[in-house]
Amino acid sequence: MNNGGAAFPTKNWQKPAVRASGYSEGMSLRDYFAAQALQGVLAADTEELLSVDAIASVAYRIADAMLKAREK
């Protein structure tokens, strides 16, 4: 699955690099997009209409669509 790579890669100065590039990856871009989408979904008061599992699923479907749009 394409997770978009690191959302906020940072140089890891204190510890040996996790990756050969020397950058710590942290949160994936997919997770970041899903978190942003989740805020919008919840702001629309959908929690009364959808289960929490459905809301999480919608957030990740939006994130996946955003990643796909970046490939164009």
Domain-embedded: residue 49 = yes
Domain-embedded: residue 65 = yes
Domain-embedded: residue 3 = no
Residue with more model confidence, 50 or 31: 31
26 Cβ neighbours under 8 A, 6+ residues apart? 6, 7, 8, 9, 10
| Residue 66 confidence (pLDDT) | 95
Domain-embedded: residue 66 = yes
Domain-embedded: residue 6 = no
Instruction: Dump pLDDT digits (tens) for 51-65.
Output: 889 999 999 999 999
Q: CA 5, CA 7: separation in Å to the nearest integer? A: 6
Q: CA 72, CA 27: separation in Å to the nearest integer? A: 23
Domain-embedded: residue 46 = yes
DSSP H helix total and E strand total for the chain: 2, 2
Instruction: Dump pLDDT digits (tens) for 1-21.
Output: 788 888 877 766 555 545 555
Instruction: Say what percent of the chain tops pLDDT 70.
Output: 76
Domain-embedded: residue 68 = yes
Instruction: Count the domains in the chain.
Output: 1
